[in-house]
A = this chain, B = another copy of it.
Amino acid sequence: MSDQISPLAPRKYPKMPAIKGVRIATAEAGIKYRNRTDLLTMLLDEGTEVAGVFTRSKCPSAPVDYCRENLPGGKARILVVNSGNANAFTGKKGRETTAATGKAAASAAGCKVSEVFQASTGVIGEPLDPAKFTHLLGEMVGQATEDRWLDAAKAIMTTDTYPKVATITVKLGDVDVTINGIAKGAGMIAPDMATMLSFIATDAPIAAPVLQQLLSKGVGATFNSVTVDSDTSTSDTLLLFATGAAAKRGAKRINDPRDPALMPFKRGLNKILKNLALQVVRDGEGARKQVEITVTGARSARSAKRIALSIANSPLVKTAVAGEDANWGRVVMAVGKSGEPADRDLLSIWFGDNRLAHQGERDPNYSEEATSTYMKSDEIRIRADIGIGRGKATVWTCDLTKEYVAINGDYRS
């Protein structure tokens, strides 16, 4: 946790309602941090279904491997998350730690080890001693309550400057169901996949394969469209739990992803995913501005997204935004370096509503003054129209400041 809270932090937090079938406890295990919580357990009632999306890193952490093994079972009873140590690149010791954690958690929750999910975040390459926290799990299970979502978000923070929570209530048929989510960033954030930890739970009775389909699709325009520094983490984990508790209140169980009753839930879930993904960007290390980049007129949507990410990941674009400089020449550069089809002489570029470049040249009507004023705002929109097709995509990032360098120049020590 940083001393200084991001200027883009939410002004207030939503009141997080209970999700029937989910109980939460946090503890100070002292794994790395002192005087703060660093351990989270989420107890899930019997029958909870689970879906997940993980990092595409070729060097995933031990907990990611562990979750991937358990995911096909589709059932979850307990989630254990620690911050301060990622248990990544820890070899055989890492696998022993996840095995020991799985066993201790299963014993505490009274479930099978295949119903345990876990995640770790923090330093890479340091062995994580399970003895530091597994002895706490039994007591935590006993103390867990339904009203600790904000505490949960706090316990999983690393360099985040604020906890990230979101909630929405939607209809499933005639019955209200709720979706709660938490997330943490704040560096090593790039798409493929979400490059962060996020845990979402609902009381909706939805079968695991349907959840998986919703989640895999939902991350495309949300968690997989944000980038802080292009660095894909070894530990990215997004889990979605459905306790099904709303069935007791008359909600019908959804087994078919094409069920029309699922639409409001799908929209609600996507809102939560986008909300949390943007909160991660807004807390990007050293971030002072949120940057939304939209590419239109590309050969295809896929091409548009690649161009948008080329702009979003360009250090020169990001430092220009930090310097409140509408340096659209660097946007041209980033379009050009993406390698995607583009015609220089058809390219147009906007910062906010100010069109700076049109069809391959500086816009003659472009106002330096209006644009300079616009660049002072803390939410910057950049749009590039490629002019050769109908492909469109939007991604989000933050500016690159000296604070990013300061934070990452001495994170480990």
Tell me the bound Cα distance from A312 to B88 in angstroms. 21
CB distance from A348 to the nearest CB of B (A): 11
| Residue of B56, B316, B359, B402 touching A402 (CB-CB under 8 A) | B402
Give the Cβ gap from A101 to chain B, nearest Cβ, in Å: 18
In the complex, whether A139 has a CB less than 8 A from a CB of chain B is no
CB proximity of A96 to chain B, nearest CB, Å: 12
In Å, the complex CA distance between A121 and B335 comes to 18
Judge whether B361 and A90 touch: CB under 8 Å: yes
**Chain B residues positioned under 8 Å from A345 (CB to CB):** 91
Bound-state CA distance A93–B347 (Å) is 15
Contact with B along A48-70 (1 / 0, CB 8 A): 00000001111110000000000
Across the interface, A316 reaches (CB within 8 A) one of B56, B229, B406, namely: B229
Interface size class, chain A: 35 or more
> A233 contacts B325, CB within 8 Å?
no
**9 A–B contact pairs at CB < 8 A?**
A57-B333, A89-B347, A89-B361, A230-B313, A231-B314, A231-B315, A320-B412, A323-B413, A400-B405
Contact of A329 among B124, B333, B342 (CB under 8 A): B124
Closest to A407 in B: B319
Q: CB < 8 Å: which of B57, B126, B190, B315 contacts A408?
A: B315
Docked CA distance A283–B315 (Å): 17
Q: Which of B58, B233, B337, B361 contacts A231 (CB 8 A)?
A: B337
Q: Does A360 count as interface, using CB distance less than 8 angstroms?
A: yes
- Whether a CB of chain B sits under 8 angstroms from the CB of A339 is yes
A98 contacts across to B, CB distance below 8 A: none
Q: Which of B314, B336, B409 contacts A319 (CB 8 A)?
A: B409
CB-defined contacts of A118 to chain B, threshold 8 Å: none
What chain B residues lie within 8 Å of A409 (beta carbons)?
319-320, 322-323, 325
- The answer for the CA separation of A127 and B405 in the assembled complex, in Å, is 34
CB of A264 within 8 Å of the partner chain:
no
Task: Identify which of B56, B323, B402 contacts A339 (C-beta below 8 A).
Answer: B56
Q: Answer whether residue A133 sits at the interface, using C-beta atoms and an 8 A cutoff.
A: no
The CA-CA distance from A362 to B330 in the complex, in Å, is: 40
